[in-house]
Amino acid sequence: MFGYYFALALRSLKRSKVLTALMILAIGLGIGASMTMITVLHVMSGDPLPGHSAQLFVPQLDARPLERSKTTKDSAPNGNLTWPDAMNLLRTHRADRQAAMVAGSVPIRPAQASLRPFFQPGHYVTADFFSMFDAPFRAGGGWTAEDDEQRARVIVLNAELNRKLFGDTPGIGRTVRLKNTDFRVVGVLDEWYPQPTFYAQVNDRSFGKTDQFFLPLQTALELQFDFSGNFMCWGNGAGGRTSDHCTWLQFWVQLDNPAKAHAYQDFLGDYWREQQTHGRFPRPVNAQLYGLMDWLTKQQVIPSDLRLQLWLALGFLGVCMVNIVGLLLAKFLRRSGEVSVRRALGAQRRDIFLQFGIESAVIGVAGGVLGLVIAELGLWSVRQRPDGYAQLAQMDAAMLLGTFMLAVFASVLAGLLPAWRACRVTPALQLKTQ
């Protein structure tokens, strides 16, 4: 029966080629525009560490004075910690793993005479960073907590920077000169670029390739390397980076089960109250602990203009569907005589409804193929943009299947009203006019 209705659908579509082309074009344009934006948002809102993100958390403390809340700009903390608070949380070891970090950029002076000095972005981190975030090593590994305390001159390179400096061979044990200081390479990562770069401050570098090196945080502080990111102080900010009046460090912890997460949040509240006894943290206790995905949502890692573009694309798809409804309604009602003859010969209403439903689905599949082509063109145009997320705009298997499913669903949905109206045609009235 399905094969028979499919053959009828093809025959009907061939009889009105212009109308068929218009319907396929309309559904293809709507699907293509929608799937372009859905794909971009899909890759941007994905889990940067699948299978591990549920154990990663950001503790949030607010050491600011009360008067900072009087301005809208400072009504909420930015999630960064002061140096004393980050070091205190590190030393307590209340989490399974913990790491403090901040972004930076330094000049690299290659040993090869053929290469001129160049700047590279990286991160200054503490020892647990690599194991906590499951960073994949091609060779070597990270450093130890003792290296942190001793301000060791060690460095971990990402694969791209290693290739630039040492070719395809991992540069373990070799020397890299940053600014005016030599660092020994202890590890080489295997192209590690989590998307987004969740552990850093959210900005226009949150997507795309970013960190090319990692070195100990206390070493970078001692050598007075350049830091990047938000540096917020209140009062006189005496002490600079090590002051308890300046927030600038990101801090992450790993807690392997919900019970540990609950216990750690209680610990943060106790820490807040303890600091109040020393004249700090004047605000009411409100320690927060955000999971990785909740933290990305709070930080609004997806630009608002992309969400607007998605709604506009879906609105365009809605307009296309309305047009499809009108075209199918005109097409099906024009065949009232045919429907009446079939009904008079014994066809049930459900048979007519099924026949026209299959015809709508055929249009949807054809529109899906066209929509896929348009979506690929749309994603190609996105990849030409200078935004960091642009190179992520690639359609995977799930989005490929989703394109066809959305096309068929949209066309069948658009065909429901026309098919229902066609199967409600009264055969006697139509046959009288023949």
pTM: 0.74
- pLDDT, residue 388, reads 60
Write out the H or E segment, with its range, that includes residue 327: helix 304-333
Measured between its terminal Cα atoms, the distance across the chain in Å is: 28
pLDDT (tens place) for every residue of the chain, 434 residues total: 667 767 767 777 777 788 888 888 888 888 888 888 888 777 777 788 888 999 999 999 998 888 755 444 455 677 899 999 999 999 999 999 999 999 999 999 887 767 788 889 999 999 999 999 999 999 999 999 999 999 999 999 999 999 999 988 999 999 999 988 999 999 999 988 888 888 988 765 677 678 999 999 999 999 999 998 888 888 765 668 888 889 999 999 999 999 999 999 999 999 999 999 998 999 999 999 999 989 988 887 776 777 787 888 888 888 888 887 787 777 776 666 666 666 666 667 677 777 777 877 788 788 888 888 888 888 888 777 766 666 666 777 777 777 767 777 777 777 776 767 666 666 554 444 55
For the stretch 420-433, pLDDT in tens is 766 666 655 444 45
Domain boundaries, the chain: 2-45+303-432, 53-298
Q: Is residue 126 within 8 Å of residue 119, measured between CB atoms?
A: no
Closest CA to 226 of 352, 298, 363, 124: 124
For the stretch 357-377, pLDDT in tens is 787 778 878 888 888 888 888
Per-residue b or e along 348-373, where b marks 16 or more CB atoms closer than 10 Å to that residue's CB: eeeebbbbbbbbbbbbbebbbbbbbe
Residue type, 61: L
Closest CA to 120 of 197, 78, 179: 179
d(CA 16, CA 31): 22
Using alpha carbons, list the distances in angstroms from residue 381 to 19, 91, 394: 30, 49, 11
C-alpha 231: how far from chain center: 26
What residues have CB less than 8 Å from 119, skipping those under 6 apart?
105, 106, 107, 108
- pLDDT, residue 72, reads 41
